[in-house]
Amino acid sequence: MLSLQKSSSSKLIQKLNLQNSSSLYRSFSRWSPEKEKNLILPKSSDIINEKEIWEVLESTKPLAKDPKVIDDILEKAKERSLLKGIDSSAGEFVQGLSLKETATLLNVDVNNSQFMDKLLNTALSIKERIYGNRIVLFAPLYTSNYCLGSCKYCGYRVANKEIPRSFLSNEEIVKEVGAIQKIGHKRILMLCGEHPKYPFENFLEAVQVASKVKTPPHGDVRRINIEIPSLSVTDMKRLKATNCVGTVALFQETYHRETFKDLHPYGPKSDYDWRLLNMDRANLGGIDDVGLGALFGLFDYRFEVLSLLQHAIHLENTYNSGPHTISIPRLRPAKNTPYYGNTEYLVDDPNFIKLVAILRVSVPYTGMILSTRESQKMRKTLMHIGISQMSAGSRTNIGSYNKKNEGDDSSGEGQFTLADLRPTDEVIRDLLENGYLPSFCTACYRLGRTGEEFMSIAKRGDIHNFCHPNGILTVAEYLHDYASPTTRSVGFDALQRELSNIPDPNVRKKVSKQLKQIENGVRDMYW
Ligand code: SF4
Ligand code: SF4
């Protein structure tokens, strides 16, 4: 299959080398052409309504100056999220904020310290109520950095000739995944660019190869999430059929159509509508866990937050399941990519903290993901108020887990530069020492708790009842199998703390018993 793909794309590659023009990129047929007949997809303008966003941002400006209105909104956010004893059979669920309420919060000046204190406290209490103190960890794995994308902000864009290009062969995938397993990860996020040299078939095979890798003492991959170019329904179905994939994430980058057009002038990614409808195609292809995101720094962050909210509402209304995750990458410098220095929309730290807290209170039932683009300090702040998942020990250049010391990003040849270069062991120790519970849990995906079923648990605010025991079990495995002696000693003490925090004595007893089993060599128990 691979050689067929290579030969069918070789003419195009030759042409690309000869004729490096934007019209040629436009003529490149999609990586993942649609073969389904009679598909009915929603209209993009019914998902992202720019007029409504601008109107609500304008009309709520006076409200944002009224402390009583702000207090009321934050009070409502608490009431709707901190419900106890929800009767879901009566249609009672944790709820977030409306577009208007969210817009009002976004319009409050970040220098208003009274508002910020209240906002952060509300976000913290919602985070604690719904997610508890666990932080799920994962490692990204880039399988190819060939890309026809013209994204002006990205180090991997086709016009950047200063980045060496390659993709991982199946043998290299095995080595990379093995190296990731040796640092203790169980969840990987697989990513690649869009290019005929690395067709979707290669990626599909890479996923299956990665899922089978096992390394001593107990290295395995328990969940693969993916973040790859837009796919057709046809290929979503093929992805689903591998039975290896959890969440499909894709960031719109910017939801602002004109800015999107400007930043993606040619190439397959320049089609705003095709990208926006990716999550509809995922659902139609049977993938019901999807992850949204916007790259903050490309356009007005208030517009992006409201667009994320509109997108989430659309998914919820259409498929009974909002986004499984929302990612909040912030623009970072990349090698030979001057865009970073030329945008007027960079989000400073205070506004970034504000927008993360607003997302937390507006969409309380959706996990939020942070990458190593952010510094250790910023990650610590954001974990406190909303983040429930983050990458650790990440490398973004191809084949680098196997070649370099963990945390070495010195070549600068990744998609963007990283800010938190700490090894995974250090991240885990830091989390444990600061009262968090790191977790490698993959239970929901493996027990079929996905899509609507997952959402109904998350919206009852009950997901932490699963997350906490699973976090304890997976981190115990880590401490036995991979931790440094220092982390191990900090970790086992912290596990006792976590155990005593389990409110139900029966659950506590069962987890205690399972911890003993782990000590005796049993692995991979989950709730
Ligand atoms: Fe390619 Fe993605 Fe980078 Fe765009 S953002 S150039 S599509 S890797
Ligand atoms: Fe994620 Fe489910 Fe595990 Fe919680 S129990 S950490 S939601 S997989």
What pLDDT, on the 0 to 100 scale, is given for residue 216?
A: 95
What pLDDT, on the 0 to 100 scale, is given for residue 3?
A: 36
Query: 401 and 468 share a domain?
Result: no
Percent of the chain predicted with pLDDT > 70: 91
CB 132 within 8 A of CB 108: no
With a 6 A CB cut-off, is 147 part of the ligand 1 pocket?
Answer: yes
Give the range with max mean pLDDT: 23-27, 79-83, 406-410, 439-443: 439-443
Q: How far is the CA of 442 from the centre of ligand 2 (A)?
A: 6
Q: Is 406 helix (H, G, I), strand (E, B) or coil?
A: coil
What pLDDT, on the 0 to 100 scale, is given for residue 16?
A: 42
Query: 181 and 236 share a domain?
Result: yes
Which tokens go with 257? 């159509």
Using CA of residue 85, residue 90, residue 93, residue 96, what is the dihedral sign?
Answer: negative
Task: Look at residue 232 and tell me whether its pLDDT is greater than 60.
Answer: yes
Atom index in ligand 2 nearest the CA of residue 527 equals: 5
Query: 389 and 511 share a domain?
Result: no
Q: Count of H helices and E strands in the chain?
A: 24, 11
Which tokens go with 317? 């209304």
C-alpha 435/C-alpha 71 separation (Å) is 29
Between 332 and 2, the more confident residue is: 332
Q: How far is the CA of 75 from the centre of ligand 2 (A)?
A: 28
Q: Does the residue 427 lie in any domain?
A: no
Which tokens go with 56? 């609500």
Q: Does the residue 148 lie in any domain?
A: yes
Query: 481 and 338 share a domain?
Result: no
Structural domain span for residue 206? 6-33+129-422
Atom index in ligand 1 nearest the CA of residue 269 equals: 7
Query: 468 and 362 share a domain?
Result: no
The pLDDT tens digits of the residues spanning 37-46 come to 999 999 999 9
- List of residues 6+ apart from 477 with CB closer than 8 A: 218, 440, 518, 523, 524
Quote the mean pLDDT of the chain.
Answer: 91
What pLDDT, on the 0 to 100 scale, is given for residue 12?
A: 43
Q: Does the residue 321 lie in any domain?
A: yes
Count of the separate structural domains present in the chain: 2
Q: Read off the pLDDT of each residue in 52-57 and give the average, rounded to a whole number.
A: 98
CATH number at residue 322: 3.20.20.70
What pLDDT, on the 0 to 100 scale, is given for residue 411?
A: 61
Q: Read off the pLDDT of each residue in 221-233 and give the average, rounded to a whole number.
A: 97
Query: 183 and 242 share a domain?
Result: yes
- Could you tell me the pLDDT band of residue 130, with boundaries at 50, 70 and 90? confident
Q: Read off the pLDDT of each residue in 111-118 and give the average, rounded to a whole number.
A: 96
End residue of a domain, out of 422, 445, 480: 422
Please write down the HEC assignment for all residues of 223-256. Answer: EEEEECCCCCHHHHHHHHHCCCEEEEECCCECCC
Closest CA to 264 of 355, 165, 151: 151
Q: Does the residue 55 lie in any domain?
A: no
User: What is the pTM (predicted TM-score) of this model?
Assistant: 0.92
Query: To test the ligand 2 pocket, which listed residue (127, 223, 459, 463) has its Cβ within 8 A of the most ligand atoms?
Result: 463
- Could you tell me the pLDDT band of residue 474, with boundaries at 50, 70 and 90? very high
What pLDDT, on the 0 to 100 scale, is given for residue 146?
A: 94
Q: What is the dihedral of CA 134, 501, 513, 492, to 10 degrees?
A: 70
The pLDDT tens digits of the residues spanning 384-442 come to 999 999 999 998 889 989 875 544 555 667 788 899 999 999 999 999 999 999 999 99
With a 6 A CB cut-off, is 155 part of the ligand 1 pocket?
Answer: no
- Could you tell me the pLDDT band of residue 458, with boundaries at 50, 70 and 90? confident
Q: Read off the pLDDT of each residue in 188-210 and give the average, rounded to a whole number.
A: 96
Beta strand 290-293 pairing with 214-215: unpaired
- Could you tell me the pLDDT band of residue 208, with boundaries at 50, 70 and 90? very high
Q: Read off the pLDDT of each residue in 146-155 and give the average, rounded to a whole number.
A: 94
Task: Look at residue 196 and tell me whether its pLDDT is greater than 60.
Answer: yes
End residue of a domain, out of 422, 448, 468: 422
Q: How far apart are the first and last CA of the chain?
A: 39
With b for 16 or more beta-carbon neighbours within 10 A and e for fewer, the 232-265 pattern comes to: bbebbbbbbeeebbbbbbbbbbbbbeebbeebbe
Query: 510 and 371 share a domain?
Result: no
- Could you tell me the pLDDT band of residue 30, with boundaries at 50, 70 and 90? confident
Closest CA to 251 of 154, 348, 143, 392: 154
Query: 495 and 406 share a domain?
Result: no
- Could you tell me the pLDDT band of residue 220, with boundaries at 50, 70 and 90? very high
Q: Is 483 helix (H, G, I), strand (E, B) or coil?
A: coil
Atom index in ligand 2 nearest the CA of residue 367 equals: 7
CB 267 within 8 A of CB 28: yes
Task: Look at residue 522 and tell me whether its pLDDT is greater than 80.
Answer: yes
Q: Does the residue 109 lie in any domain?
A: no
What pLDDT, on the 0 to 100 scale, is given for residue 28?
A: 60
C-alpha 480/C-alpha 519 separation (Å) is 7
Percent of the chain predicted with pLDDT > 90: 80
Query: 243 and 351 share a domain?
Result: yes
Q: Return the biggest CA–CA distance within the chain.
A: 70
Query: 336 and 417 share a domain?
Result: yes
Q: Is 473 helix (H, G, I), strand (E, B) or coil?
A: helix
What pLDDT, on the 0 to 100 scale, is given for residue 462?
A: 79
What pLDDT, on the 0 to 100 scale, is given for residue 136?
A: 97
Closest CA to 190 of 147, 221, 236: 221
Query: 373 and 492 share a domain?
Result: no
Which tokens go with 333? 């410098």
Q: Does the residue 525 lie in any domain?
A: no
Q: How far is the CA of 332 from the centre of ligand 1 (A)?
A: 14
Vertex 395, ends 185 and 1: CA angle to 5°? 80
H-run or E-run covering 178: helix 170-182
CB 12 within 8 A of CB 196: yes
What are the start-end ranges of the E strands in 110-249?
A: 134-144, 187-192, 214-215, 219-220, 223-227, 245-249
Q: Does the residue 68 lie in any domain?
A: no
Backbone angles phi, psi at 299, to 5 degrees: -155, 175
With a 6 A CB cut-off, is 347 part of the ligand 2 pocket?
Answer: no
End residue of a domain, out of 422, 452, 479: 422
With a 6 A CB cut-off, is 156 part of the ligand 1 pocket?
Answer: yes
Q: Does the residue 67 lie in any domain?
A: no
C-alpha 175/C-alpha 157 separation (Å) is 26
Query: 178 and 261 share a domain?
Result: yes
Query: To test the ligand 2 pocket, which listed residue (130, 136, 474) has its Cβ within 8 A of the most ligand atoms?
Result: 136
Task: Look at residue 2 and tell me whether its pLDDT is greater than 80.
Answer: no
Please write down the HEC assignment for all residues of 255-284. Answer: CCHHHHHHHCCCCHHHCHHHHHCHHHHHHH
